Structure 1
Amino acid sequence: MDDELRERVEAAGEAAALFNALKHGSDPDVGAIMGPLMGENPEFRPHGDEIPGVIAPIVAEVGRMDETERRDRLETLAPERLAELEADDEEDDRVLPDLPNAEAGAVVMRAAPNPNGPWHIGHARMPAVIGTYKERYDGEFICRFDDTDPETKRPDLDAYDAILEDIEYLGFEADRVLRASDRLETYYEHARELIDRGGAYTCSCSGEAFSELKNDGEPCPHRGKDAETVREEFEAMVDGEYDSGEMVLRVRTDIDHKNPALRDWVAFRMIDTPHPREAAAEYRCWPMLDFQSGVDDHLTGVTHIIRGIDLQDSAKRQRFVYDYFDWEYPEVLHWGHVQLDEYDVSLSTSTIKELIEAGDLTGWDDPRAPTIRSVRRRGIRGEALVESMTALGMSTSDVDLAMSSVYANNRDLVDDGADRFFLVRDRADDPAVELPVVDGDAPAPAAGRPARHPDHPDRGDRTIPAGRVRLETSDLPPAGERVWLKGYGCVRRAEEELLYVDADIDVVRDGDVDVVHWVPAAESLETLLRTVDGDVRGYAEPEIADAAVDDVVQFERIGFARLDSFDPEGTDEPDGPTGEEDLVAYYAHP
């Protein structure tokens, strides 16, 4: 790291430490500010291993300031950050606006997922917001699976339960769960009534022919059919007497409407591909989403609909049906799309599925996949994701979700309960090295005893044998220089060994000696750490074997991780990709 970059890191690190301390009313921590620091300064990321050491003395200095000193210093260094804090202090806790014309106890909202695969992270926004509104208004949350397209968005039978599990993970529960594919007869009955009201007609035009007529504002030649003929042909559709593309049922709208997309839109079409659900496999006449969803919203009493700004035409189409039936249309709120940083994989269920099928991802919970299953396996709590999603508000513009905000929320939730451990990574560009620790200026202790958690001395210390140790090469000092093995003491490097100096922490406080993590060479557990950037191998200290699967721990100087599987005795095959690991952990965040 050159001097110019170091100065920028120091300035940004000090601003981040001051902001963090003032926001949370506590002393800052290097781990707590690393996520926001790297997220806001992507050019720092190639130096991620060096930055904690650069900013540690600055963070310590901020920790010695009182609140007034911190506020004055932040105003000098980054006045816009102080203004952001003051704006946050004044902002109402409820970042979501009140629903229009909402009555407590009478609000009904629905999430309407297409179960063509488990949810990606962007999908979490809808249940997060609906669940929050349900709690605010003592309302009802419906989960309705819009699974009426067995061909182009073919349902995945496992996705129904997976989506309900995702909703539960986010902290909510649907009051009612519906599957549209169970309700075909209901849609048929409403189609028949619509035909009788003069609101629909059967059409055998090719798609190209109708599109040309529609764009020219010309009526379809089938538009003038009498209701009896339309009814007979629709019954033939229901009975499966037409092939795909041979006949559709159209809603009669306004052929002169200024928006061609609203002119006589399709309500039902024929699909030859059987539905994967056995209960729906015999049906061939399927409703389009705008018809099915519009009917269901009315029948289930939905009062408020949230949908993407790109789906504004859906409400306009459905209003034609509502007018024919003399129904009152629900309140509608539109929002923009969620765009996500950090991941190389797009927020697309079909893209993720293709990568899994090609073997480029190991599954929906691969840490590289931008899915709810993935962040859950990484030890990120649903509450953290909900808080970040609701903080996006209801803007009709596309919004950016910084994963650093999710990480910050999760850090607040897990930090207190996460015991600390050491993990020495063994990477191609920074391999682990072994050196003996021997007597030097003083006799070398047999073990180190770092705290299990710095804020909870009652949890006691860990015991780490120190006869022969592993360090990351980048932490090894030059010959003749000193380094502090955390929880153990100060050592000086000879060529092929570390000479014990003493346990006087003042050398660290004076800023002369770096503090590094380490593990014993013999007793450590071979570890696979699965991350968003790929798998990392290394060695964890032995006492981590006393933890349990699903525990979230902090690997000091690295970050938080969820323990996924253990095989310290080599007796069983662990769940890791190779079966060679004593421990598999999923990296959460800094």
Structure 2
Amino acid sequence: MSEDATNTLLASAEQISASIANYLDSIKSTITKSTKSGPFFGKVRLIEQLKSVDPKVLKDAFETQWKSLISNAPEADKEPKKEKKEKKETKKEAEKKETETEESAEGEKKDRFEARFLESAVNSEALLEQHKEATGGKVRTRFPPEPNGFLHIGHAKAMNLSFGYAQEEGGDTYLRYDDTNPEKEEQIYFDSIKEMVLWLGFTPKWVTYTSDYFDQMYECAIKLIKKGLAYMDFSTKEAIKAQRDNRTDSPYRNTSVEENLKLFEHMRRGYFEEGKAVLRVKIDMQHDNPNMRDFIAYRIKYAPHPHVGDKWCIYPSYDFSHCLVDSMENITHSLCTLEFEIRRDSYYWLLQALDMYRPKVYEFSRLNVTGALLSKRKILALKNKNVIRGFDDPRVMTLAGLRRRGYTPEAIRSFCKDVGVTRNANQIPNERLEQSLRTDLDGKVDRAFCVTDPLRIELINYPADKVESLPAPNHPVHADRGTRMLPFSKILYIEKSDFRLQDDKTYYGLAPNKEVGLRFGYNITCKEVVNKPDGSISHLLCEVDLTKSRKPKGHIHWLAQPRPGVDPIKCKVFFYDDLFVKGANPEGDSGALESSLNPDSLVEYPNAFVDPIFHDAEKSKVFEKYQFERLGYFVVDSDSKQGDLIFNRSVSLKVDKLLK
């Protein structure tokens, strides 16, 4: 064997030994003389630098160090003897418990968030101690949206996970605005994000901004340059992309530390034009992960920042800032969606290079709901073309839109919990979200009557000057909700769809010479149809049976004039359906976006009548919710006001048919 080959083997053996020693040192405090080695050897085999090592060689090196570790480990606590039968069950339970609580490479207990291991993610004892001192051993999570748009249903899942997990563990959560792109960030987004977080029922322990840490991040960049791990690059944007794609070095990669420090200071002072210079980290241009190929840490933007003003003209990238702020805020669990999984390597590389605390990172699948349009850019395009009214249009699944549609925080949180957390890609039917809302609203909201498309009825055998009041329960189950009084008079209104000229055995509505029941009222029989000059129906002449001597086939809802010549309360009612036709993929092909719009996504009823309870201003406050009997669940729209009531249908009833 040549001398060079021998040196290579020796170096490899040293590297193997050092990697194993580093790992065993991180978990030694949990080891007793009775601890089994198997699970820990499995962890060693996952260390990136050791994956290509011959398993037998690796096993021998591991066992040597393991024996030394065990020989110096304390005795395990003795437990009292148990009966033989119980001992067998206890052993099985103990093995399960050992699997669940096995110490991970970070020196922390396993939890539900287990993902790809990297040796660079291992914290030293000193870092763990500092972290524990800062947190008191409590879980810390963060919800870090970029304030360049409105939150949507996918953010609800992320919030539910980050806030929910911290709450379960008795920990705390940051709301952190990831504000590193001043050109796209506006105060309206900052305000809306906080409003939606609070509306969804989550209270952050702290509200912070990534820009709060710009000074510390700048010092981190200086430190990297001094360590030879960052350099100024004057290549074009296209050239940098080509370098990373082709795994070729930048011509500026080997600039001296002194020169890079000087140029970075010039960049900070605004000596260079926007787009002419960037700061790149110096990692590994040959890495399989493109995010490890010298990603950009700082770029120039001559734009005022909505939070820090014009103090800076250089701004850190997401890849540079995200992990640093996580570490500075002592986040224990950095939870994000799977598209960020590629950034795991660079996340830990940067923290290791700066010897900073490394949080546990876990990536989960995005929440994809069928037919949902979540893209900020595409929503804005539809808004600009007046296809939708804005980011809070009830047909888009922004949280503002869902609130306006009538969704409750409880229904959304329940839906997110029902969907669960997984790393597997999934497509959740919209019907599951709708059912979460029905389940939540059914027991909560009062009932009321609304006639969306009125057909006038004149009762030919009822006095013209008489008005009586009929009681109707506010809820069919909860009698404690009380009753409301419905005026009943000679002139009343029913839905046009509740009358047909031709009757059949499957139809439960009104028809010529057919009797039908008025819900919480009397029975009526159609005696004559009065037509307009064009042949369309003007109104119906009916007889009322005040004794209800016969049981009708069906019951319909209605509203009557509260006084002769005075119609019920007028309102507008909007029925919403999916914004896109069934099977469309609005998050996919942009070219097909408008061609796949559902022409019936919004149906307006501008001349509807509504229950007399809405004379009470308290009943018609924005976002108050009701079940309009036989029609579905409705909410008072945000554009509504007294004298001009607007209701949005949130969701249909579970079974959308005539009540029997």
TM-score bracket relative to the smaller structure: 0.7 to 0.9
Describe the SS at the equivalent of 2:219.
Answer: helix
Please state if 1:463 is matched with 2:486: yes
- Per-residue displacement from partner, 1:88-119 (whole Å, max 9, x unpaired)? xxxxxxxxx83459999521111110001221
What is the match of residue 657 of structure 2?
none
Please state if 1:383 is matched with 2:410: yes
Whole-angstrom distance in 2 between the partners of 1:165 and 1:386: 16
Describe the SS at the equivalent of 2:485.
Answer: coil
What is the match of residue 497 of structure 1?
541
Whole-angstrom distance in 1 between the partners of 2:263 and 2:179: 24
- Per-residue displacement from partner, 1:154-184 (whole Å, max 9, x unpaired)? 0121111211111111111111111122332
Given the superposition, is the C-alpha separation of residues 474 and 211 from structure 1 closer, same or farther in structure 2, using an over 3 Å criterion? closer
Instruction: For 1:406-445, list aligned pairs within 5 A.
Output: 406-426=433-453, 432-439=454-461
Question: Per chain length, whose mean CA-contact separation is higher, i.e. which structure has more relative contact order (CA < 8 Å, sep 6+)?
Answer: 1
What is the match of residue 184 of structure 1?
214
What is the match of residue 313 of structure 2?
284
What is the match of residue 162 of structure 1?
192
What is the match of residue 515 of structure 1?
555
Which residue, 225, 247, 253 being the options, matches 2:283?
Answer: 253
Whole-angstrom distance in 1 between the partners of 2:283 and 2:380: 38
Please state if 1:121 is matched with 2:153: yes
Q: Which residue identity lines up with residue 386 of structure 2 in the other structure?
A: G
CA shift, 1:289, in A, is 0.3
Please state if 1:112 is matched with 2:144: yes
CA shift, 1:462, in A, is 2.1
What is the match of residue 139 of structure 1?
171
- Per-residue displacement from partner, 1:39-85 (whole Å, max 9, x unpaired)? xxxxxxxxxxxxxxxxxxxxxxxxxxxxxxxxxxxxxxxxxxxxxxx
Which residue, 558, 563, 568 being the options, matches 1:524?
Answer: 568
- Alpha carbons 2:153, 2:367 under 8 Å: kept: no
Which residue, 468, 473, 482 being the options, matches 1:451?
Answer: 473
CA shift, 1:267, in A, is 0.6
What is the match of residue 112 of structure 2?
98
Q: Percent identity?
A: 25
Describe the SS at the equivalent of 1:492.
Answer: strand
What is the match of residue 543 of structure 1?
613
CA shift, 1:446, in A, is 4.2
- Per-residue displacement from partner, 1:471-508 (whole Å, max 9, x unpaired)? 11220222111111111121111113111135548624
CA RMSD of aligned residues (A): 2.6
Given the superposition, is the C-alpha separation of residues 215 and 402 from structure 1 closer, same or farther in structure 2, using an over 3 Å criterion? closer
Whole-angstrom distance in 2 between the partners of 1:205 and 1:582: 60
- Segments of structure 1 that go 5 or more residues without pairing to the other structure are 1-96, 427-431, 566-574
Given the superposition, is the C-alpha separation of residues 203 and 424 from structure 1 closer, same or farther in structure 2, using an over 3 Å criterion? same
- Alpha carbons 1:519, 1:539 under 8 Å: kept: yes
Whole-angstrom distance in 2 between the partners of 1:320 and 1:160: 31
CA shift, 1:142, in A, is 0.9
What is the match of residue 65 of structure 1?
none
Larger radius of gyration: 2
What is the match of residue 586 of structure 1?
648
Given the superposition, is the C-alpha separation of residues 112 and 388 from structure 1 closer, same or farther in structure 2, using an over 3 Å criterion? same
Given the superposition, is the C-alpha separation of residues 322 and 368 from structure 1 closer, same or farther in structure 2, using an over 3 Å criterion? same
Q: Which residue identity lines up with residue 422 of structure 2 in the other structure?
A: S
What is the match of residue 17 of structure 1?
none
- Per-residue displacement from partner, 1:288-336 (whole Å, max 9, x unpaired)? 1010111101111111112221211211122221221123432222122
CA shift, 1:148, in A, is 0.6
What is the match of residue 303 of structure 1?
332
Describe the SS at the equivalent of 2:648.
Answer: strand
What is the match of residue 355 of structure 2?
326
Please state if 1:362 is matched with 2:376: no
Given the superposition, is the C-alpha separation of residues 503 and 244 from structure 1 closer, same or farther in structure 2, using an over 3 Å criterion? farther
- Alpha carbons 1:527, 1:582 under 8 Å: kept: yes
Whole-angstrom distance in 2 between the partners of 1:303 and 1:523: 62
- Alpha carbons 2:142, 2:174 under 8 Å: kept: yes
CA shift, 1:406, in A, is 3.5
Describe the SS at the equivalent of 1:450.
Answer: strand
Whole-angstrom distance in 2 between the partners of 1:393 and 1:216: 40
Whole-angstrom distance in 1 between the partners of 2:433 and 2:239: 50
Given the superposition, is the C-alpha separation of residues 100 and 340 from structure 1 closer, same or farther in structure 2, using an over 3 Å criterion? closer
CA shift, 1:564, in A, is 4.1
Given the superposition, is the C-alpha separation of residues 198 and 583 from structure 1 closer, same or farther in structure 2, using an over 3 Å criterion? same
Please state if 1:267 is matched with 2:297: yes
Given the superposition, is the C-alpha separation of residues 395 and 242 from structure 1 closer, same or farther in structure 2, using an over 3 Å criterion? same
Whole-angstrom distance in 2 between the partners of 1:125 and 1:417: 24
What is the match of residue 496 of structure 2?
473
Describe the SS at the equivalent of 1:233.
Answer: helix
TM-score normalised to the size of structure 2? 0.66
Describe the SS at the equivalent of 1:406.
Answer: helix
Whole-angstrom distance in 2 between the partners of 1:525 and 1:342: 35
CA shift, 1:280, in A, is 2.9
Which residue, 326, 337, 340 being the options, matches 2:369?
Answer: 340
Which residue, 130, 142, 149 being the options, matches 2:181?
Answer: 149
What is the match of residue 556 of structure 1?
629
What is the match of residue 50 of structure 1?
none
Whole-angstrom distance in 1 between the partners of 2:261 and 2:236: 20
Of 333-342 and 240-249, the range deviating more from structure 2? 333-342
Q: Which residue identity lines up with residue 472 of structure 2 in the other structure?
A: P
Q: Which residue identity lines up with residue 469 of structure 1 in the other structure?
A: L
Whole-angstrom distance in 2 between the partners of 1:553 and 1:498: 30
Q: Which residue identity lines up with residue 322 of structure 1 in the other structure?
A: L
Equivalent pairs counted in the alignment come to 467
Describe the SS at the equivalent of 1:291.
Answer: helix
Whole-angstrom distance in 1 between the partners of 2:515 and 2:467: 17
Whole-angstrom distance in 2 between the partners of 1:98 and 1:261: 26
Describe the SS at the equivalent of 1:462.
Answer: strand
What is the match of residue 429 of structure 1?
none
- Segments of structure 2 that go 5 or more residues without pairing to the other structure are 1-110, 116-127, 500-509, 529-539, 577-600, 653-660
- Alpha carbons 2:152, 2:399 under 8 Å: kept: yes
Describe the SS at the equivalent of 2:473.
Answer: coil
Whole-angstrom distance in 1 between the partners of 2:550 and 2:259: 94
- Alpha carbons 1:447, 1:467 under 8 Å: kept: no
Whole-angstrom distance in 2 between the partners of 1:277 and 1:112: 17
Whole-angstrom distance in 1 between the partners of 2:229 and 2:624: 59
What is the match of residue 485 of structure 1?
518
Q: Which residue identity lines up with residue 605 of structure 2 in the other structure?
A: V
Please state if 1:236 is matched with 2:266: yes
Given the superposition, is the C-alpha separation of residues 505 and 391 from structure 1 closer, same or farther in structure 2, using an over 3 Å criterion? farther
- Alpha carbons 1:105, 1:137 under 8 Å: kept: no
Q: Which residue identity lines up with residue 530 of structure 1 in the other structure?
A: F
- Alpha carbons 2:383, 2:390 under 8 Å: kept: yes
Whole-angstrom distance in 2 between the partners of 1:243 and 1:379: 49
CA shift, 1:460, in A, is 2.4
Whole-angstrom distance in 1 between the partners of 2:549 and 2:231: 85
Of 532-541 and 107-116, the range deviating more from structure 2? 532-541
- Alpha carbons 1:446, 1:467 under 8 Å: kept: no
- Per-residue displacement from partner, 1:434-472 (whole Å, max 9, x unpaired)? 0112339xxx98454332222233402422223111111
Whole-angstrom distance in 2 between the partners of 1:584 and 1:105: 51
TM-score normalised to the size of structure 1? 0.74
Whole-angstrom distance in 2 between the partners of 1:328 and 1:361: 46
